[in-house]
Structure 1
Amino acid sequence: MPDQTATRRRSGWPVAALSLGTLLNPLNSSMIAVALVPLQHDLGVDVTTVTWVVTSFYLASAAGQPLMGRLGDRFGPRRLFLFGMIVVVVACVLTPFTDTLAGVCAGRVLLAIGTATAFPSAISMLRSIAATSGAGSARLLGRIQIANTSGAAIGPVVGGILVTLLGWQAIFWINVPLAAVTFVGVLLLAPPDPDREPTPLRRTLTESDIPGILLFIAMLTSLLVFLLELPREAMWWLLPAFAAAAGLFVWRELRAAHPFLDLRMLAGNRTLMLVYLCFAIFSVVYYSAFFGLPQYLQEGAGYPASAAGLLMFPLAAVTIVVTPLAARAIERFGLRPTLVTGAITLVVGAALLALAAVDTAPWLVLVVTAALGIPYCVVSIAMNQALYAAARPEDAGVAAGIYQTSRYLGAIVATTILGLLFSTGQTPGNWLIVVGVATALAVVHLGILVTVRPQRRTAS
Structure 2
Amino acid sequence: MRVAFVARGDPVAGGRAGFGARLTAPLLLGSLLNPLNTTMISTGLVAIGHDFGVGPADTAWLVSVLYLASAVAQPVLGRLADGIGPRRVFLAGLVVVAASGLVGALAPGFGWLLVSRLLLGIGTSAAYPAAMAVLRDEATRLGRPTPRTVLGRLSFAALGSAAIGPTLGGLLVAAAGWRGIFAVNVPVAIVAYASALLWIPKDVPRDEVAERDGPGRSRADGSRADRSRAGKGSSGGLDPLGILLFSGALSCLVVFLLDLRDPMWWLLAPVVVLAAVLTWWQLRHPRPFIDLRMLGANHALARTYLRHGLSYLVVYCVMYGFTQWLEESRGLSSLDTGLVMLPMSLAALVCSLLGARTKGIRGPLTVAAVLLAAGGALLLFTTGSTPLAVLLLTGACFGIPQGLIGTGNQAAVQQFAPADAIGSAAGLQRTAQYVGAITASGLISLAYGRRADDAGLHLMAGVGAVLAVALVVLTVTDRALRTGGKTSQERQLP
* CA positional deviation for 1:51: 0.9
**Equivalent position SS for 2:182:** helix
Moved more, 172-181 or 94-103: 94-103
**1:261: which partner in 2?**
290
Alpha-carbon distance, 1:386 to partner: 1.6
Q: Are positions 1:140 and 2:150 aligned together?
A: yes
Deviations 1:16-61 (A, max 9, x none): 1210111001110110111111121222222112211111100100
Letter in 1 for 2:43: V
Check whether the contact 1:10–1:133 (CA below 8 A) recurs between aligned residues. no
Alignment partner, residue 221 of structure 1: 251
The answer on 1:322 being equivalent to 2:332 is: no
Deviation at 1:275, TM superposition (A): 1.1
TM-score scaled by structure 1? Answer: 0.92
User: Secondary structure at 2:283's aligned position in 1?
Assistant: helix
Q: Which amino acid aligns with 2:264?
A: M
Match of 1:207 in 2: 237
Partner of 1:310 in structure 2? 339
* Conservation of the 8 A alpha-carbon contact between 2:365 and 2:405: yes
1:355–1:15 distance in 2 versus 1, CA, 3 Å: farther
Distance 1:439 1:270 in 2: 25
What is residue 400 of structure 2 aligned with on the other side? 374
The 8 Å contact of residues 39 and 168 in structure 1, kept in 2 or not, is answered as: yes
> 2:260 and 2:391 mapped to 1: Cα distance?
32
Asked whether the equivalents of residues 74 and 204 of structure 1 are also in contact (C-alpha less than 8 Å), the reply is no
AA matched with 1:445: L
- How far apart in 2 are the matches of 1:226 and 1:412? 11
- The separation in 2 between residues aligned to 1:205 and 1:351, in whole angstroms, is 50
Which region of structure 1 is more displaced relative to structure 2, 179-188 or 73-82?
Answer: 73-82
SS at match of 1:438: helix
Gaps of 5+ in 2: 1-14, 208-227
Aligned length: 451
Partners of 2:99 and 2:197 in 1: CA distance? 18
In structure 2, the residue matched to 1:18 is: 27
The answer to whether residue 458 in structure 2 is matched with residue 432 in structure 1 is yes
On the 8 A contact 1:126/1:137 being kept in 2, the answer is no
Match of residue 280 from structure 2: 251
Aligned to 2:288, the other structure's residue is in SS state coil
The verdict on how the C-alpha distance between 1:375 and 1:229 changes in structure 2, with shifts beyond 3 A counting, is closer
Q: Which residue of 1 aligns with 2:225?
A: none
Closer, same or farther: CA 217–363 of 1 in aligned 2, 3 Å: same
Q: Note the C-alpha offset of 1:335.
A: 2.4
TM-score by length of 2: 0.86
Structure 1 stretch displaced more, 7-16 or 391-400 = 7-16
Residues 367 and 190 from structure 1, CA distance in 2 versus in 1: closer, same or farther, beyond 3 angstroms? Answer: same
Alpha carbons 2:55, 2:450 under 8 Å: kept: no
Contact kept in structure 2, 1:162 and 1:168, CA below 8 Å? yes
Other-structure match for 2:194: 184
Q: Which runs of 5+ in 1 are unaligned?
A: 1-5
State whether residues 8 and 135 of structure 1, in contact with CA within 8 Å, keep that contact through their aligned partners in structure 2.
no
Residues 230, 237 of structure 2: 8 Å contact kept? no
- Answer with 248-257 or 69-78: which moved more: 248-257
| Residue in structure 1 matched with residue 11 of structure 2 by the alignment | none
For the aligned residue pairs, the C-alpha RMSD in angstroms reads 2.3
SS at structure 2 position matched to 1:356: coil
Partner Cα distance (1:336, 1:231) in 2: 37
Q: Is the 8 A contact 2:259 2:442 kept in 1?
A: no
1:102 aligns with 2:111: yes
Structure 2 distance, partners of 1:133, 1:191, is 16
> What is the match of residue 409 of structure 1?
435
Identity of aligned residues (%): 36
Q: Is the aligned partner of 1:344 residue 2:370?
A: yes
Q: 1:280 aligns with which of 309, 320, 333?
A: 309
CA–CA separation in structure 1 for the residues paired with 2:100 and 2:113: 10
Q: Per the alignment, do residues 125 and 367 of structure 1 end up closer, same or farther by CA in structure 2, a change over 3 Å counting?
A: same
The 1:279–1:200 alpha-carbon spacing in structure 2 relative to 1, beyond 3 Å, is closer
Aligned: 1:294 with 2:323: yes
Determine which structure has the larger helix proportion and give its number.
1
Indicate the SS of the match to 1:99: coil
Contact residue 257 and residue 439 of structure 2 kept, 8 A: no
CA distance in 2, matches of 1:224, 1:14: 37
- Offset at 1:83? 1.2
- For the Cα contact (< 8 Å) 1:96–1:172, is it kept in 2? yes
**Equivalent in the alignment of 1:3:** none
Q: Deviations over 1:290-332 (max 9, x none)?
A: 111111101111111111112111122112222232233x32x
Report which stretch shifted further, 351-360 or 237-246: 351-360
